[in-house]
Structure 1
Amino acid sequence: MGSKPISFDEKWAEIYKVMMLKRIIEGLPDLTISSEEYMTVHTCVYDICTGSPPCDANIERLYNKYREVYEEYIASTVLPSLREKHGEFLLRELVKRRENHKVMTRWLSRLFHYLNPAYVKQRIVPTPHEVGGLSALGTRCMQS
């Protein structure tokens, strides 16, 4: 009996649940990520990156989805929070956004670290940590 093939869409649906991390970072009440949810996501990323055999198309889709999460967060949350502020209020908001972004990058780059050997090194693309890094945030903010 063979194992059931990895369904990328099913795995991504589980992974995306943890993207509520953005909402937790923003301070929305009553949101938590249980250790079971965290491990489920970790396992889904592992399964996609190390499946037997690993499917390069799924790994590439996962990497692209990971990048999209950051782009969406910056476009829908970070930039709007900065646009209407000036002077001291802008500086305070920048500090808050920087701290939130560092937390998000730390959590997500740990969850997606299996992309490093499976995809990043082969394709010579930014690591998960670099995708969400502060230099990427600054670049995206300056482009808008």
Structure 2
Amino acid sequence: MTMREFINLEEGLETIQKGITKLLNILEGLPEPNFTPEEHINLYTTVYNMSTQRPPHDYGLALYDKSKETCEYIVSKVLPSLGEKKDDLLLRELLRR
């Protein structure tokens, strides 16, 4: 079994922020390519490792706060644009995003 290196908060949040930015660009309809499998694995592994590290390097609460902040942004910015649409226009917008 190999020892993994600790991921410090700043380094981990930088990786996560890149993923969040890409996701938000996709949700807002900007021409952003989808996540590659490597990007997805890197993002998932970073979040998992940061939330399972032993104290004082356990950043589960900081990650929770970041995810809450991201969800609030999505609800405040993306959801209203979907709420303006109905029927087939709503379905098309969901498919587009």
Q: Once the 2 structures are TM-superposed, how far is the Cα of residue 41 of structure 1 from its aligned partner?
A: 0.6
Q: CA deviation at 1:96?
A: 6.0
Count of aligned pairs between the two proteins: 92
1:22 Cα deviation after fit: 2.8
Q: 2:7 aligned with 1:12, yes or no?
A: no
CA contact (8 A) 1:6 1:48 kept: yes
Query: Percent identity of the aligned residues?
Result: 27
- 1:43 Cα shift? 1.0
Deviating above 4 A after TM superposition, structure 1's stretches of 4 or more consecutive aligned residues are: 54-57, 93-97
Deviation at 1:95, TM superposition (A): 5.1
The runs of 5 or more residues in structure 1 that have no matched partner are 104-144
Alpha carbon RMSD of aligned pairs, Å?
Answer: 3.1
Structure 1 equivalent of residue 64 of structure 2 = 63
Task: Give 5+ residue unaligned stretches, structure 2.
Answer: none
- Deviation, 1:24, is 1.9
Report which of the two has the higher share of helix: 1
Which position in structure 2 is the counterpart of 1:114?
none
What TM-score, normalized to structure 2? 0.69
Shift of 1:54: 4.6
**Residue in structure 2 matched with residue 29 of structure 1 by the alignment:** 31
Letter of the 1:91 counterpart: K
